[in-house]
Structures are given as structure tokens and as C-alpha cells.
Amino acid sequence: MTVPFAAVLFDLDGVLVDSEVLANRVWVAQLAEHGLHLSHAEFLARSVGRTYPVLYAELERDYGWQPPDGFDALNDAALALAFEGVPEIEGAGETLRALRAAGVPYAAASNSRRDRLDLKLRVAGLSELLGDHSYDPAQVGGRGKPLPDLYRHAAQALGADVRASLVIEDSLTGVAAGVAAGAAVWGLLAGGHVHDALAAELTAAGASRIIGSHADLRAALGL
């Protein structure tokens, strides 16, 4: 069994855990309560893969909306409650176990805040499989995706050349980060937020292959 990559680097939301729809519902409800009414599709299109500062900047630019005092605390509490029910993406744990058995290094690299990243991995039952190899923007000076720093850092921590590594992503932001880091990038369409145009969008952003499930990913990797 030979995997043709030095390491496999996973995004978290929409790749290992099915959290995007849960988060979207919370955000849309919280925004509506604070004066900004967006549909679920509108918010999902602009939020997947983005950090809070980028998201807030875009909401101010496009709608003149800024988070009022206390918004972050209320939103954080609602998100934490929602994430207590977050499931793994079907087959994600099996993929990680197969990589471990094959001796292939792997990690998660996410724009999620550290506390949320840890919460989602724990609830989805993936914490032990990732161990210390889950990384967030705070570990690279806040330089999250679409910048390449997070994926470069994850590969380095694994002792792998990022240019010989594979990135698995579900967002345009993440694909851009993987491409900028010099990795091969595959798009995974396994989360509840996937829409009909996403495969074409990820391909246009630089994903060299589109995979529909973790079972297909394992097959493509020869696991």
C-alpha cells in the first residue's frame, strides 16, 4: 500500500466534521436579531472557509453592518451549543485510521478558532486520531487561509515537504491556500453545505481532482 504523497492535510469544517450548516443556521439567526437579514444561501456563500475578521469586513463593506456590543459573546454561546451536536463527515474517521495504518502523516489545518476546533473534533470523536496535529491561524500569527501559512506550518510540523503533500478542501478559500502553499489540492464534496456549482468552482480555483466521499478518497489514495 503506497500513498503517493508525503502527507495529507485536511481542512476541518466540511471535510472532517459536518459543521457548516449548523454554523450557518446560528449566524443567520443571530444576524437577523441584530438587524441584518440574509438568507441561508446568501450567508453560506460568503462565510465558508473565512475567518471572522474577513467576514465582518465583507458584511460592513456590502451591507454597512458592524457587530454591536455583545454580539460575539451571544454568537459564540449559540455556536458552542450547536457544535455539541456536530457529526463527523461520513467516513472521516475511517480515512484517518487508514492513513495511520499506512504510515502516512496527516493533520488538520483550519481557520476555526482554537476552542471551536477542539470542540468540534471532540464531539465528532476525532480528537484522538488527530492528536497534536490540528492547527489554527493563531499558530501562524493569525495568517489564516487563503494565505498559505497554515498548510505550510502543518506540513512542516509533520516533517513533510508541503510541495509533496495533498490538501483536502471544500472551500475556495482553502483551495487557494493549498495552491499557494504549493501542495496538490483535491476538492471534497461530502458536507451538508455542498451545492451544485461547487465542483466547478473548486476546480476553477485550482483543485486538480474532485472527490465525492471519504470512501472515494480512500480509494483514490489506494487505502
* Proportion of the chain above pLDDT 90, given as a percent: 69
Same domain? For 63 and 141 the reply is: no
- The per-residue pLDDT of the chain, averaged, comes to 92
DSSP assignment string, 135-203 = E-GGGGTT--TTSSHHHHHHHHHHT--GGG-EEEESSHHHHHHHHHHT-EEEEE--STT--TTHHHHHH
Same domain? For 104 and 79 the reply is: no
User: 196, 193, 165: which is closest to 179 by C-alpha?
Assistant: 165
Q: pLDDT at residue 108 above 90?
A: yes
Which residues are CB-neighbours of 208 under 8 A, at least 6 positions away?
184, 185, 186
Q: pLDDT at residue 30 above 80?
A: yes
Question: Residue 53 sits in which domain range?
Answer: 20-83
Rounded to two decimals, what is the model's pTM?
0.84
pLDDT in tens, 155-177: 999 999 999 999 999 999 999 99
Average pLDDT for residues 23-35, to the nearest whole number? 88
What per-residue confidence (pLDDT) applies to 21?
A: 81
Q: pLDDT at residue 194 above 70?
A: no
Of 83, 114, 131, the last residue of a domain is: 83
Q: pLDDT at residue 47 above 80?
A: no
Average pLDDT for residues 2-7, to the nearest whole number? 91
Q: pLDDT at residue 183 above 90?
A: yes
Same domain? For 99 and 202 the reply is: yes
Same domain? For 107 and 214 the reply is: yes
Average pLDDT for residues 72-80, to the nearest whole number? 87
Of 67, 83, 99, the last residue of a domain is: 83
CATH number at residue 211: 3.40.50.1000
Sheet containing 184-188: give its strands across: 134-135, 106-109, 8-10, 166-169, 184-188, 209-211
